[in-house]
Amino acid sequence: MRVQLKQGEVTIRIHQRPTERETVSVIEFPDGYKASAASHCHPNDNFSKHKGLQISLSKAMKKAHIKKDERKLIWDKIFNYKYTKGA
């Protein structure tokens, strides 16, 4: 998924692996910089794709020092895409 930010168009990739109980988010910037983060589910908890996405993407955006207004653009794009994709 691509999102236009002040730094240019960034690519966001989400990798969810329920069998490993892990979600990985990667944000790729036009200059080649990549920020990635993962969330891991405790063996005693139920794996949730939604919660894993929230945690891993929040961590990746924090690593990339993305400002609040741009984080909102990313969240809006992801959740509008996710819930309209099957419609």
Q: What is the CATH number of the domain that holds 16?
A: 3.30.160
Which SS3 state, helix, strand or coil, does residue 34 take? strand
The per-residue pLDDT for range 46-79, each reduced to its tens digit, is 999 999 999 999 999 999 999 999 999 999 888 8
Burial of 38 (0-12, 13-18, 19+ CB in 10 A): middle
Q: Is 85 inside a domain boundary?
A: no
The total number of structural domains in the chain stands at: 1
Q: Is residue 86 part of a domain?
A: no
- Do 17 and 40 form a contact (C-beta atoms < 8 A)? no
- Asked if 25 and 12 count as a contact pair (C-beta separation under 8 A), the reply is yes
pLDDT of residue 84: 52
| Spatial contact of 22 and 39, defined as CB atoms under 8 Å apart | yes
Residue 25 domain flag: yes
pLDDT score recorded for residue 87: 44
pTM of the model: 0.84
Torsion, CA 48, CA 51, CA 53, CA 54, rounded to 10? 180
Condensed to tens digits (0 to 9), the pLDDT of residues 6-44 reads 889 999 999 999 999 999 999 999 999 999 999 999 999
